[in-house]
Each structure stands twice: as structure tokens, then as C-alpha cells.
Amino acid sequence: MNKQLPELMFLKSRDGKEGCSLSAPEIADDLCVLAADKLRKDIADFPQLSEVEIVRHYTNLAHLNYSVDAGFYPLGSCTMKYNPKINEKIANQPEWNAHPYSPIHLVQGNLEIMKSLEELLMKITAMAAFTLTPAAGAHGELTGLRVIRDYLTDKGDARKIVLIPDSAHGTNPASSVLCGYQTKEIPSNENGILEVETLKKHLDKDVAALMITNPNTLGIFEKNIVEIARVLHENGSLLYMDGANMNAFMGIAKPGDLGADVIHLNLHKTFATPHGGGGPGSGPVGVAKDLVKFLPVPIITHEGKEYKVRYHNESGSNRVKNFYGNFLVIIRALVYLLELGKENIRQVAEDAVLNANYIRKKLEPYLDLPYKSKSLHEVIFSDKGLTVKTLDIAKRILDYGMHPFTIYFPLIVHGAMMIEPTETESKETLDQFIDIMIKILDEAKKDPAFVQGAPYSTPVTRLDEVMAAKQLILRWKPAATQTN
Amino acid sequence: MRYLPLTETEREEMRKTIGIKETKELFSDIPKDKSYFSLADLPSALSESELLEKFKEIGRKNIFPGFLSFLGAGAYQHFIPELVNFLSNKSEFLTPYTPYQPEVSQGSLQGMFEYQTMMAQLTGMDIANSSLYDGGTAAAEGIVLALKKSKKQHILIAGNIHPEYIEIMQTYIKYLDYKMDLVPFDPQSGKLKLAELEGKIDQDTAGFIFQSPNFFGVVEEGKQISAMLHSKNSYSIQIVTEALSLAFLVPPGENDVDLVVGEAQSFGLSLGFGGPYLGFIAAKSEFLRQMPGRFVGQTLDSKGNRGYVLTLSTREQHIKRERATSNICTNEAWCAFRAGIYLATMGKKGLQSIAKTNHLNTAYFVKEVSKLNNVKVKYQKDYYNEVVLEVQNGKTDDFLKKLEAKKILAGIPLHWFYPDQKNTILVNFTEIHRKKDIDQLVQAIGEIK
């Protein structure tokens, strides 16, 4: 098997090669109504390859990729669970492949799929309604925060601040700012969670919401959450619960019951849809009763026997995305939930949490555990006392044929190693990973330089990221003109 | 359960290792009265064959298959070579995470680098990023970028942009301290009124965003628009909703456009009832450090071999947090990768050829339908692959229903977007349509009394 990077396709391109088969033209060129000065002359250096060369090119690229189908992928906060194949099969059926502006009586099946997922998500989360339109988690955050701002603005309450704990994902503050909010970071305590007293200290009439991930990015459940919600509501502020880590308690507790006013979920995490190397995702937003009228369009309703679509919510359009959202991701999530059913949904969270705690127990003698609170779906170690850096360990894991954990996040842990095994890993895989970690830590003690030089067996060795950011070669150009 | 590999014995063993009796104990931080709720109202698990049956049954409620469709308006039906499905659905491309460990992600990274290159070539711009969510959000990101970079407060928006895109831009800047102003179009030509645009540009104008071909399918005067804006120190921003047009029309770069945003669904993504699609942004290199989304860059490994990494991440939310240029994290990477496969498969000649066929099919329709008395093509000049059709007698809903009875979806009624447009529809032609399909549409229209 070839483990070398194939040449860039532009270098293999030759005039006269064809990768597609086209039908003979039926309409004569002279019908063209556009003047010559509106027409393009050439697409300089655009590739031309034959079919077999394209197949080889991409097949060789495939050989260079690690994937969850190939093995363990314990990226913390990313929930890299297995992506069921039946979901792909069903999503790829032609019967869903309608134009989004098809007359709605011709696409009742598609509307049923979306409404069914909305209803299932409502049951799992105890939220009053969902929109499925956001394209990813961060897009859901932006949507949810805007719903909060619309709601408060509607009440004549122009609050300006969103409170965000120091363990939050970077998307939380970035989304808040895009919604015109100022953010204020608040510290978690020595147990890694937010204390009600800390919240109270930062709370005033200018606080629109607290945006909190639960369980948080330390894998710890915010056990004061019910009291936090109460204190917020008393102050006229809302609780935004980031559901990035919903896999930890899906089927065990419902965010709505805990006091959340707005949540978003990540279908490409908790609901097993494939990540695709960085998307497409889907980030449904669920809201409490009073906020429903601020959800973005389109809104699917079920009237009598027919599904209908509304393009105006009571408060306006609030549209955040074209058409209906990432429908083909939505359908995969529905297939997944229907296969789990009530019999398995709780087992998913239980196994995910059991797996994380097993790793924690087994590695605790070897690594520093900065927060001793109970872990849910992920465990975070630090690099304290090690002879090498977290990055070195991560790179060495690659040599053993596995993907490393999330590194250097959350920021409040020095040299963080954030390990989320998910429920779809066997005990054998966990034991292998644990053995590899122990071996690497031993190597690091005996020969730190060796670990610092890893990886040795990957298609490329450590890449010069500083050079990448300095030279900024972001596209290929013919040799003579290659500058940027 | 097939996705849960732990056996009961192993669970027991693991609990013993951890030092607990029941897994439930691990959840003791969750308030007791709020956890372990009843699951009774959830459906029962389905087997694989039951799932197939269930979705077959739901699928039967979709009765659009078999219709001859001419629907467009930002979502286009193009032929997808089998190679695109075959290669993009390899699990090595479908099931990795974002390439944060580049040593084991060179496949995705090189593919994205090649995609970035092809998008830059097609738009005629210096650089293109590796994806945004979709066309509408790309437009919103585009205007926010122009506003931030110019440090001005005012953005002008063409009135003949896809109405959904306008809605999304409005939602995005609703709570940012910016002003947005609509520039009307000429109802006679469907095109922008450049004199009116000129009058609206002032010192505080960050830029003007227009769509070409516009929502009605008409190609705008990109070069003149850019020149007008540049003379007043404002940015020219073009939306492209039909990416295939880039292979046929003078590209934005040659019209001196500063920023190009849009939808590349046409590059090998199925209609899929509206998503996932592929937003893109391409720009002059001066925008690089403020751009949203991810970039793949070329570099060397420690042995001096060529390799690729995600770069310029100091713009991004995971580093810059509240000072990030955008909140984007997960985007549409696989869609972009797939678009790369599509573009490579079509190649320069193939792309140019079908891009032309799209226009010629439309021109053929215009020629044929002009022989009828009951309809009229509203904008006969400078269209690309979409035209507005005026129904002479009666309302569009009635007209479309009659065609639907003949299993034809002839177009999208414009009153959906503009309540006063009672008698117009938007009709789209692509290389999917054969001459006989267009003849069938024309004949069916001719038979409407």
C-alpha cells in the first residue's frame, strides 16, 4: 500500500484527458444570448485527468487518512462514536432527494422525517420546541443566543452581557460576540464546577444569560445546575446549556428538567452522524415555551393529516440558513435514534461514562488528574510531572496506530489530555489504549528525546506549522508564479 | 445492541475495577429527582430490516420522483458522475474528525488544498477557504468581513439577491451596530440600477453586495459595479448561487470584485432537500487574516517532505475566543472535499461544456416558449440558466397546478418571496434536461387554456 502523498492533481493534468463522459450537444452554439465580453475565455491551469488517474489519486489519499472506521478516536468533547452504515444506506436513497422548493404535498415524507426528529429530541430533552436549521454546533449557539436576545428585546429588556465559565469552548464567546453581546468569563472552583456564589457575584441586571456546557469540558457534571437556573431566572437572566456533551446523559436526565431555557445539540456528535473531516454537522436548537415564537423559519407544522411549512414566525423570519437545514444529516440522526429506541438510549450514556471512568481509573496511577470530581463521559489529565509534553505523547500514540485525545484543551488545565472514549469502543480497545499510554509514559521516562521525535511511522513526520503560517501557500500555482 | 460492544460480564468487571456496584452511581452528581426519568414515551428499538421498511414507508409519502422538474433558485439539479459518490463515500473520507493531527490526515488535507486551488481558479480570486455552511451564511459572513475590515458601519445590499440570503444577512447583523440598505433593481430589466447605486454610496459605505447571475437569472455588470465602488473606496462583493456559472461567465476576479461568496452545491452535491450544501468564500489576499473558516496550507515535515496542515488558526475561535473573526468550527469539509472530486472528474473541458449547455438549454426554451401567447419571458437579455416567466392569464398557482397534473414542476412562483408578483415564476434549465424535456415543457405550457 502506498503511504506517500500523491503528486498534486495539477501536476498530473494534461490537455486532452477526460474524466467524465458527456452527452452530445443538442442545441447549437449560436443560440447563446450573451455577448462575447461576458463569456469566460479560459480557466487557467484547471486540471484535466482521466477517470483511472482520479480514482488512483483519491484512493491513495484515502490511504493517508485515519478514521473512526479504522480505529479508536478518543478526542475529548468531539464524541467520535461509530457511524452506523445503515444510516448511510437510508440517507443515500433517491426518495429523499427532492428540491427544497418542491410543493409540500409532494414531499410529505421528508417533512415527516424532520418533524419526527424534532419530536424525539423534545422528549429526550424536555424542551418545548426545536429548530433543525442550524448547520453545526456553533451555528446553533448563534441561533440560540439570538433567540434569547429577541426574547429579552421583546420584553424591553436590553441586557448586554453573557457570562461564560472559564472551561467553555471557544465557540461560546465567539458566538456571543457575533450576537452583539459582551462576554464575561467566570471561574470554576477547585472541583472544576461553577459555584452558585461565584455566579451571584457576577450577576446583575445587565446579564442576559449564562452559557454553560454541561457536563462541562472537564467531563464534570455541573451539579449546582438546578440552583444556578433558579438564581438566573430570579434575576431575569436565561440559562443557555451547550449540549455538546449530551452523550454523557442522554436518556438519563433532560436539560429542560434541569432548568435550561435554550440548548443546542450536535447531531454529528451525540447522534452518530459522520464528521466528514470537519462537517457537515447539524446543530438543532431547543427552547423553553416562552421562547418558541422567536425560533427561525422554516417551521414545520402538522395540521390534520398534512405537514405544512410556515415561513413567518410570530416575531418575523429570523432565518439562519437556506432551506430546511442539513436534511441528510437530520435523517441519519433519526435512523440512529429509532434503532436505539427506549431499550438502548440510556445504555449509550451509561457505557460512554463507564468507558471514560475505566480509563480514568487505569491511568490515574500514571498521570496527574487535576480535578478529582466525578467524571462523566470524558476524563482530563494534565502533563504535570512528565518529562515530555502532551503534544509529544499525542504524536507517539500515532506510531501505535491510534488517534490521540484532544490536547491543550480545556485551557484551565496545563497540558490537558482530554480523553473521550464514547460507548462504541470495546473493553479490548480501551485496554490496548491504556497499555499504549503506559508504554509511552515509560518510554518518555527512559528516552524523552525519542518520544519528542515521534511520530516515526506516519506518512509524514511532524509538520512545520510555523512555516505554514508564515509562507501561506494556500493554493497551488504553476512553478514560476508560486507566491502568495 | 450492535453499536455497544461491551458485554454484561465486561461491564461488571469494569465496575469492579472502578469500585462501584452499579453504573448508576457514576451519575450521582445529577440531582436524583431529575434523573433516570421514564423512557416509556420513546419508541421501541427497530431492527435493521424494520428500519428499512419504516423508511421505505415514509419514502412512499414523497411523491415528487418521476416529475420533470425545472426548479432552481439557489438549489440546482446537475448530473453527478458515479465516481463522485464512489470516492467521496469512502469511510477514510467520511469518518475522520477535523484534521487536528495532520500526520494521519494528509488525505483530507491535500484534497482540501486542491479544492481551495480549484475554487480560487474558478472565481479568479487569490484565495478561497475550505468551506462555510451554505450560500446564505457565506453572504452574511462576507458582509460582516467587509464591515470589519473597512471599519465602516454601512453596507449596501442589492434588492435582487436571493430573498432567503437577504433574510439571513438581516438575521446575522441584527444585533451588530451596522446599517444595511437595500438598492432597488429595475423591474424592466431585472438588473440593478447603477445610477441609483452610485447615489447611495457614501464615505461610510463598507461595500455593496450583489448577486450575479441575480435571483432572476440575469448577469449583472460586475466590472462597472466594482469600478464604481472602488472609486469611492468601498468593497465590491459578489454572491454566486449557481457556481457552475463560474465556468461560463467572466469570473468575479476579472471584474475586480474584492470578495466572492456563494453556494457550490452544483459541484457534485445532491439536492438532498436543501442540505448539506457548500458555502464558499474567495477573496483578494488582503482579506486573508480576517477571513472566516478554515484554511489548509502547504508546508514541510521534519524530513523536508511536502505536507499539509490547517493554518492561520490564530483567527479562529478556539484560539482567539471572543476576538475570533468568526464563530465557525465544524463546517462542510466533506462537501468541499466531494466538490473537489466532482471538479477533478469534470475537468476544465467537461465543466466548460456543461456550463455552456445550461445556458443553451435555457436559450432554447426562451426561443421556443416565445412562440406561445399565454406566457412571456420577462427578462430576455443577459440571462444564464434561469428565466422569469410571466403567465398572461390568471394566477401562477393555477398555472403550476395544471402543469403538475402533467407531472411537470415548471418553476417556483415568485409570490412566495414577493407578494406583489402574482403572475411570475422562476424556471431553471441545466444539463439534466434534454431537448425533448424542454419541448415537453413548452408543449404542456402551450396546452394551458
Contact A426, A81 (CB under 8 A): no
Q: How far is A348 from chain B (nearest CA, A)?
A: 7
Partners of A381 in beta bridges: A417
ipTM score above 0.85: yes
Q: Is the pLDDT of residue A296 over 50?
A: yes
Interface-testing mutation among B27, B51, B62, with chain A (most A C-beta atoms within 10 A): B62
Q: What is the pLDDT of residue B49?
A: 98
Q: DSSP H helical segments within A164-265, as ranges? A: 171-178, 196-202, 225-234, 255-258
Give the pLDDT band of residue A457 (cuts 50, 70, 90): very high
Q: How far is A392 from chain B (nearest CA, A)?
A: 12
Partners of A302 in beta bridges: A307
Q: What are phi and psi of B442, to 5 degrees?
A: -65, -45
Q: How far is A328 from chain B (nearest CA, A)?
A: 6
Look at residues B341, B305, B348, B275 and name the one whose alpha carbon lies nearest to residue B112: B341
Q: Is the pLDDT of residue A392 over 70?
A: yes
Does residue B330 sit at the A interface (CB-CB below 8 Å)? yes
The three-class DSSP label of residue A446 is helix
Taking residues A35-54, report their average pLDDT.
97
Domains of chain B with CATH codes: 68-79+348-446 (3.90.1150.10), 82-343 (3.40.640.10)
Q: Which residues from chain A sit within 8 angstroms of residue B12, using beta carbons?
A: none
Q: DSSP H helical segments within A407-478, as ranges? A: 427-446, 448-452, 465-471
Choose the closest CB to A321 out of B116, B168, B294: B168
CB atoms within 10 A of CB A21: 8
Contact A279, B331 (CB under 8 A): yes
- Whose cell is 488535507? That residue is B109
Partners of A309 in beta bridges: A300
- Whose cell is 499525542? That residue is A394
Q: Which residues from chain B sit within 8 angstroms of residue A324, using beta carbons?
A: 273-275
Q: How far is A288 from chain B (nearest CA, A)?
A: 17
CB atoms within 10 A of CB A464: 16
Q: Do the chains contact at A5 and B128, CB–CB below 8 Å?
A: no
Partners of B376 in beta bridges: B390
Choose the closest CB to A253 out of B34, B90, B103: B34
Q: Is the pLDDT of residue A226 over 60?
A: yes
Give tens-digit pLDDT for A63-116. Answer: 999 999 999 999 999 999 999 999 999 999 999 999 999 999 999 999 999 999
Contact A44, B121 (CB under 8 A): yes
Q: How far apart are CA A106 and CA A98, in angstroms?
A: 9
- Whose cell is 433517491? That residue is A94
Lowest mean pLDDT among A160-169, A430-439, B312-321, B415-424: B312-321
Q: What is the pLDDT of residue A483?
A: 45
Q: State the DSSP H helix or E strand holding residue A120, giving kind and residue range, or none if neither.
A: helix A108-125
Does residue A1 sit at the B interface (CB-CB below 8 Å)? no
**Sheet of strand A406-407: strand arrangement:** A379-381, A417-419, A406-407
Question: Residue B83: CB partners within 8 Å, gap ≥ 6?
Answer: A19, A51, A54, A55, B341, B345
Lowest mean pLDDT among A51-60, A219-228, A303-312, A388-397: A303-312
Give percent of chain A with pLDDT exceeding 70. 99
Q: Is the pLDDT of residue A481 over 70?
A: no
Interfacial A residues in 313-352 facing B (CB < 8 Å): 317-329, 335, 338-348, 350-351
Q: Which residues from chain B sit within 8 angstroms of residue A223, using beta carbons?
A: 29-31
- Whose cell is 461509530? That residue is A82
Query: With left for phi above 0 and alpha for psi between -120 and 50, is residue A156 left, alpha or beta?
Result: left
Look at residues B7, B43, B8, B54 and name the one whose alpha carbon lies nearest to residue A251: B43
Q: Do the chains contact at B120 and A475, CB–CB below 8 Å?
A: yes
Look at residues A252, A287, A288, A257 and name the one whose alpha carbon lies nearest to residue A270: A252
Q: What is the residue-wise DSSP string for A68-105?
A: TTTS---BTTT------HHHHHHHT-GGG---TTS-GG
Contact A110, A98 (CB under 8 A): yes
Taking residues A414-434, report their average pLDDT.
98
Q: What is the pLDDT of residue A2?
A: 55
Identify the CATH number of the domain defined by range A85-338: 3.40.640.10
Q: How far apart are CA A328 and CA B274, in angstroms?
A: 9
Contact B26, A357 (CB under 8 A): yes
Interfacial A residues in 218-237 facing B (CB < 8 Å): 220-221, 223, 225-226
Q: How far is A53 from chain B (nearest CA, A)?
A: 10
Output B86-89 pairs: Cβ under 8 A, ≥24 positions apart. B86/A55, B87/A54, B87/A55, B87/A58, B87/A59, B87/B341, B88/B268, B88/B334, B88/B337, B88/B338, B88/B341, B89/A88, B89/A92
Interface size A-B, in CB pairs within 8 Å, comes to 668
Q: How far is A265 from chain B (nearest CA, A)?
A: 13
Look at residues A446, A466, A454 and name the one whose alpha carbon lies nearest to residue A390: A454
Q: Is the pLDDT of residue A1 over 70?
A: no
Q: What is the pLDDT of residue A350?
A: 98
Give tens-digit pLDDT for B225-242. Answer: 999 999 999 999 999 999
Q: Do the chains contact at A136 and B330, CB–CB below 8 Å?
A: yes
Q: Do the chains contact at A109 and B60, CB–CB below 8 Å?
A: yes
Q: What is the pLDDT of residue A484?
A: 41
Interfacial A residues in 156-175 facing B (CB < 8 Å): 169-171, 173-175
Give tens-digit pLDDT for A48-61. Answer: 999 999 999 999 99
Q: What are the angstrom distances between the C-alpha of A6 and each of A65, A277, B349? A: 13, 19, 23
Q: What are the angstrom distances between the C-alpha of B293 and each of A216, B129, B311? A: 25, 7, 11
Choose the closest CB to B99 out of A45, A277, A340: A277
Q: What is the pLDDT of residue B313?
A: 85
Cβ-based burial of A147 (10 A; exposed 0-12, middle 13-18, buried ≥19): buried
pLDDT beneath 70, residues of chain B? none
Say if strands B295-300 and B154-158 run parallel, antiparallel, or are unpaired. unpaired
Q: How far apart are CA B323 and CA A424, in angstroms?
A: 37
Taking residues A378-392, report their average pLDDT.
97
**Strand ranges for A277-433 from DSSP E:** 285-287, 299-303, 306-310, 379-381, 406-407, 417-419
- Whose cell is 478529582? That residue is A372
Longest dimension (CA), chain B: 84
Look at residues B106, B62, B100 and name the one whose alpha carbon lies nearest to residue B300: B106
Q: Is the pLDDT of residue A480 over 70?
A: no
Domain ranges, ordered by start, for chain A: 85-338
Q: Is the pLDDT of residue A197 over 70?
A: yes
Q: How far is B88 from chain A (nearest CA, A)?
A: 9
CB atoms within 10 A of CB A3: 12
Q: Is the pLDDT of residue A126 over 60?
A: yes
Q: What are phi and psi of A301, to 5 degrees?
A: -120, 160
Choose the closest CB to B273 out of A46, A100, A339: A100
Choose the closest CB to B135 out of A100, A322, A373: A322
